[in-house]
Chains A and B, each alone.
Chain A
Amino acid sequence: MARKTRTIKVDYLARVEGEGAFKVVVRDGAVQSAELSIFEPPRFFEAFMRGRAFSEAPDITARICGICPVAYQMSSVHAMEDALGITVGGPLRELRRLLYCGEWIESHVLHVYMLHAPDFLGYAGAIDMARDHGEIVKKGLALKKAGNDIVNLVGGREIHPINVRVGGFYRIPGKRELADLGETLKSVRDIAVDTVKLVAGFDFPDRSRDYTFVALRHPDEYPFNEGRVVSNRGLDIRVADYDRHFEEVHVARSTALQSRLHGGSYLVGPLARYSLNFDRLAPAAREAARDAGLGTTCTNPFQSIIVRSVEVLHAIDEALRIIETFEQPDRPSVDVVPRAGIGHAATEAPRGLLYHRYRLEEDGSIAEARIVPPTSQNQPSIEEDLRDYVGGWLDLDDEALQHRCEQTVRNYDPCISCSTHFLKLERIEETSG
Chain B
Amino acid sequence: MAKASRPRLAVWKFASCDGCQLSLLDCEDELLAVADAIDIAYFMEATRGRISGRYDLSLVEGSITTPHDAERIRDIRRISDVVITIGACATSGGIQALRNFADVREYTSIVYARPDYISTLATSTAIADHIRVEFELRGCPINKRQLLEVVSAYLAGRKPVTPAHSVCVECKLRGTVCVMVAHGTPCLGPVTHAGCGALCPSYNRGCYGCFGPMETPNAPALSQHLAELGMEDRAIARLYSTFNADAEPFREERERHGP
A380 in contact (CB, < 8 A): no
Q: Is B14 an interface residue when CB atoms closer than 8 A count as contact?
A: yes
A110 at the A/B interface (Cβ < 8 Å)? yes
Against A, the Cβ 8 Å flags (1 = close, 0 = not) of B89-115 are: 000001110110010101110111110
B154: Cβ under 8 A from any A Cβ: no
Q: Which of A42, A125, A163, A252 contacts B47 (CB 8 A)?
A: A125
Inter-chain contact A170/B203, CB cutoff 8 Å: yes
18 further A-B pairs in the complex, CB-CB below 8 A; given A63-B95, A162-B203, A170-B205? A17-B45, A43-B95, A46-B111, A56-B242, A64-B17, A65-B18, A110-B22, A124-B49, A125-B49, A126-B46, A126-B47, A127-B32, A141-B32, A145-B28, A160-B19, A160-B140, A170-B204, A249-B113
| Chain B residues with CB below 8 A from A141, complex form | 28-29, 31-32
Contact A250 B208 (CB under 8 A): no
Report the separation of the CA atoms of residues A248 and B199 in the bound assembly, to the nearest whole angstrom: 38
Pairwise interchain contact A48-B204, C-beta atoms closer than 8 A: no
| Contact yes or no, B112 A138, CB < 8 A | no
Size of chain A's interface in residues, with CB distance under 8 A? 75
Query: Complex formed: what's the CA distance from A254 to B119 in Å?
Result: 11
A53 at interface (Cβ–Cβ under 8 A)? Answer: yes
A98 in the interface (beta carbon within 8 A): no
Instruction: Please tell me if the beta carbons of B110 and A14 are within 8 angstroms of each other in the complex.
Output: no
Contact B204 A171 (CB under 8 A): yes
A110 contacts across to B, CB distance below 8 A? 22, 25
**What residue in chain A is nearest B64 (Cβ atoms)?**
A41
Contacts of A127 in B (CB 8 A): 31-32, 35, 40, 46-47
Point out the residue from A56, A114, A160, A165 that lies within 8 Å of B25, measured CB to CB: A114
Would you list 18 pairs from A and B whose C-beta atoms are within 8 A, ordered by A residue?
A15-B44, A41-B66, A42-B118, A43-B65, A48-B99, A50-B110, A53-B235, A110-B22, A125-B46, A127-B31, A127-B35, A134-B32, A137-B32, A141-B32, A148-B28, A159-B20, A406-B48, A426-B119
Residues on the B chain within 8 Å of A118, using CB: 47
Verify B199–A142 contact, CB threshold 8 A: no
B238 near A42 with CB under 8 A, answer no
Min CB distance B108 to A, Å, is 7
Shortest beta-carbon distance from A254 to chain B in Å = 8
**Interface 0/1 of B9-31, CB less than 8 Å to A:** 00001111111111101101101
> A193 in the interface, Cβ–Cβ < 8 Å?
no
- A40 surroundings in chain B (CB, below 8 A): 15
Contact A250 B117 (CB under 8 A): yes
From A18, which residue of chain B is reached at the shortest CB distance? B18
How many A-B pairs with Cβ below 8 Å? 200
Interface string of A310-337 (1 = CB under 8 A from B): 0000000000000000000000100000
Question: Contact check: which of A17, A50, A137, A142 meets B18 at CB < 8 Å?
Answer: A17
B22 to A159, Cβ gap below 8 A?
yes
Is A128 interfacial (CB-CB < 8 Å)? yes
Chain A: interface secondary structure? loop
CB distance from B64 to the nearest CB of A (A): 9
Closest 3 CB pairs of A and B: A66-B19, A125-B47, A250-B113
Does A117 interact with chain B (Cβ within 8 Å)? no
Q: List residues of A whose CB falls within 8 A of some B CB.
A: 12-19, 40-48, 50, 52-53, 56, 59-60, 63-67, 69, 110, 114-115, 118, 124-128, 130, 134, 137-138, 141-142, 144-145, 148, 156-160, 162-163, 165, 170-171, 248-250, 252, 254, 256-257, 332, 406, 417, 420-421, 423, 425-428, 430
Bound Cα distance A156, B196 (Å) = 11
A162-B19 contact given A44-B111, A148-B26, CB 8 Å threshold: no
Q: Which residues from 115 to 129 on chain B have a C-beta closer than 8 Å to any C-beta of chain A?
A: 116-120, 124
A residues in contact with B66, CB < 8 Å: 41
Known: A15-B48, A66-B141, A250-B112. A130 touches B17 (CB 8 A): no
- Chain B proximity of A105: nearest CB distance (Å): 12
Query: Is residue B69 within 8 Å, beta carbon to beta carbon, of the partner chain?
Result: yes
